[in-house]
Amino acid sequence: MPLLPSPPTEREGVVAWVAEHLSHLTCDEPAAYGTSSFRGGQSAADAALAALDLTGYARRRSVVAPERSRGASRLSPYLRHGLLQLPEVWDAAGDAPPKDRQRFRDELQWQEYARHLYARVGRDLREPLRADPPVPAPGAPAVGPELRGDPWPGRMACMAATTGELHEQGWLVNQTRMWLASQWAARAGADWREGRDAMYRHLIDGSPYANGLGWQWSAGTATGKVYGFSRWQVEKRAPQLCRSCALRDACPVQDWPEVQPGARREGPPGLAGGPTDAGPRRPEVTGEPEAVWLTAESLGDADPALAAHPDVPAVFVLDEPLLARLRLSGKRLVFLAETLAELGAEVRLGDPVAELAGRRLATTWTFPPGWRRRADRLDVVALHPWPWLRRPGSGSVRSFSAWVRSAPGRDR
Ligand SMILES: Cc1cc2nc3c(=O)[nH]c(=O)nc-3n(C[C@H](O)[C@H](O)[C@H](O)COP(=O)(O)OP(=O)(O)OC[C@H]3O[C@@H](n4cnc5c(N)ncnc54)[C@H](O)[C@@H]3O)c2cc1C
* Nearest residue to 181 (alpha-carbon basis) of 217, 131, 142: 217
Q: What is the pLDDT of residues 100-143, one digit of tens each?
A: 999 999 999 999 999 999 999 999 999 999 999 999 999 998 88
* Nearest residue to 336 (alpha-carbon basis) of 26, 119, 1, 2: 26
Q: Where are the beta strands (DSSP E) in 219-279?
A: 259-260
The backbone torsions φ and ψ at residue 324, rounded to the nearest 5 degrees and listed phi first, read -65, -35
Using CB distances shorter than 6 Å, the residues near ligand 1 are 61, 72-76, 79-80, 107-108, 110-111, 114, 173-174, 177-178, 181, 203, 205-207, 210-211, 214-215, 218
The fraction of the chain above a pLDDT of 90, given in percent, is: 96
pLDDT at 148: 78
Rounded average pLDDT over 208-236: 97
Rounded average pLDDT over 11-40: 98
**What does pTM read for this prediction?**
0.98
**In this model, does residue 232 exceed pLDDT 90?**
yes
For 9-52, where are the alpha helices, taking DSSP H only? 11-22, 42-50
**In this model, does residue 189 exceed pLDDT 80?**
yes
**In this model, does residue 407 exceed pLDDT 80?**
no
**In this model, does residue 47 exceed pLDDT 70?**
yes
Q: Report the Cα 37 to chain-centroid distance in Å.
A: 17
Which of 57, 79, 169, 205 has most ligand 1 atoms within 8 Å of CB, for mutation?
A: 205
Residue-averaged pLDDT of the chain: 96
**Under the phi-then-psi rule, with left for phi > 0, alpha for psi from -120 to 50, and beta for the rest, what region is 189?**
left
Rounded average pLDDT over 234-247: 97
pLDDT at 408: 66
Atom of ligand 1 nearest to the CA of 79: 47
Rounded to the nearest 5 percent, the helix, strand and coil shares of the chain are 45, 10, 45
Residue nearest to atom 21 of ligand 1 (CA): 174
Atom of ligand 1 nearest to the CA of 172: 21
Using the mean position of ligand 1's atoms as its centre, give its distance from the Cα of residue 199 in Å: 13
- Determine the Cα–Cα distance for residues 367 and 278; give it in Å rounded to an integer: 7
CA–CA distances in Å: residue 122 to residues 116, 370, 372, 373: 10, 9, 11, 12
pLDDT at 1: 53
Q: What is the ipTM of this complex?
A: 1.00
**In this model, does residue 85 exceed pLDDT 60?**
yes
Burial of 360 (0-12, 13-18, 19+ CB in 10 A): middle
Rounded average pLDDT over 362-367: 98
Confidence of residue 76 (pLDDT cuts 50, 70, 90): very high
What is the DSSP pairing of strand 361-364 with strand 135-136? unpaired
Atom of ligand 1 nearest to the CA of 74: 26
Residue pair 347/274 in contact by the 8 Å Cβ criterion? no
Q: What is the pLDDT of residues 330-347, one digit of tens each?
A: 999 999 999 999 999 999
Measure the CA angle with vertex 339, ends 194 and 62; round to 5°.
50
Q: Quick one: three-class SS letters along 45-71?
A: HHHHHHCCCCCCHHHHCCCCCCHHHCC
Confidence of residue 409 (pLDDT cuts 50, 70, 90): low
Rounded average pLDDT over 270-281: 96
**In this model, does residue 411 exceed pLDDT 70?**
no
**In this model, does residue 293 exceed pLDDT 70?**
yes
Rounded average pLDDT over 311-328: 98
For the CA atoms of the chain, what is the radius of gyration?
A: 22
The fraction of the chain above a pLDDT of 70, given in percent, is: 99
Specify the 3-state DSSP secondary structure of 220.
Answer: coil
**In this model, does residue 396 exceed pLDDT 80?**
yes
Q: Which residues, listed in sequence order, are joined to residue 347 by a DSSP beta bridge?
A: 4, 316
Higher local confidence (pLDDT), 136 or 409? 136
Rounded average pLDDT over 353-368: 98
Residue nearest to atom 24 of ligand 1 (CA): 74
Which of 76, 80, 200, 201 has most ligand 1 atoms within 8 Å of CB, for mutation?
A: 76
**In this model, does residue 329 exceed pLDDT 90?**
yes
**In this model, does residue 262 exceed pLDDT 60?**
yes
pLDDT at 2: 86
Residue-range domains of the chain with CATH: 127-260 (1.10.579.10), 284-384 (3.40.50.620)
